[in-house]
Amino acid sequence: MSTNKAIFIDRDGTLVKEVWYLSDEKQLELKPTVPEALKMLREYGFLIVIVTNQSVIGRGIIDHEKLRVIHERLQTLLQQKGARYDHLYYCPHLPEEGCSCRKPAPGLILKAAEDLHIDLKSSYVVGDRLMDVKAAKSLGVRCAVVISTWSSLDGDVRSWGADFLGENLLEVAEWIIRQEQRDTRS
């Protein structure tokens, strides 16, 4: 039975500053407002589930162990600011492999929803790229975009069909909470 609600959130460009092929924990830098936004969402009852494409593994740049170290560092940076994520799912494959877990395919979200008993209709996808929006739309999940320097790589962000566009994660979190408040009044 699906009883939890979650924020399925992208890592690069959404939680942390954009770095091509991030391969070292020293490259991690939280984007402004991230800890505050995650705390707000968790206080509102959401699980924070990172879903991220990590082709750095498929490209042979780093291995799974190094990625684990990077994600431990991310959790540490968040905890130093009073925030945290609950779970993390990643796709190690190259784009051309056509796997079902690499966004825009919804495999990571579906796996997390099954593992964690998440109700997709009560959840949101948040990212900075068109692939995040496509993954959400393929499942009928509401989605928001945090506009990043990478967003422009996919054309006009206004044409993607996201439910909300925000300049930072705090704006997105505030929008999600407004949606939740509106839904409970309905």
Q: In a structure prediction context, what are the per-residue pLDDT tens digits for the chain, which is 186 residues long?
A: 668 999 999 999 999 999 999 999 999 999 999 999 999 999 999 999 999 999 999 999 999 999 999 999 999 999 999 999 999 999 999 999 989 999 999 999 999 999 999 999 999 999 999 999 999 999 999 999 999 988 988 999 999 999 999 999 999 999 999 999 988 776
Say which residue the tokens 């964690």 belong to.
116
Count of domains in the chain? 1
Tell me, yes or no, if 63 is annotated catalytic: no
B/e letters for 79-118, b = 16+ CB within 10 Å, e = fewer, are eeeebebbebbbbbbeeeeeeebbbebbbbbbebbeebeb
Domain range enclosing 117? 5-185
Residue 172 maps to which CATH number? 3.40.50.1000
Q: Say how far residue 49 (Cα) sits from the centre of its chain.
A: 7
Given the residues 12, 24, 128, 163, the one annotated as active site: 12
pTM (predicted TM-score): 0.96
Tell me, yes or no, if 12 is annotated catalytic: yes
Query: For 56, phi and psi rounded to 5 degrees?
Result: -60, -25
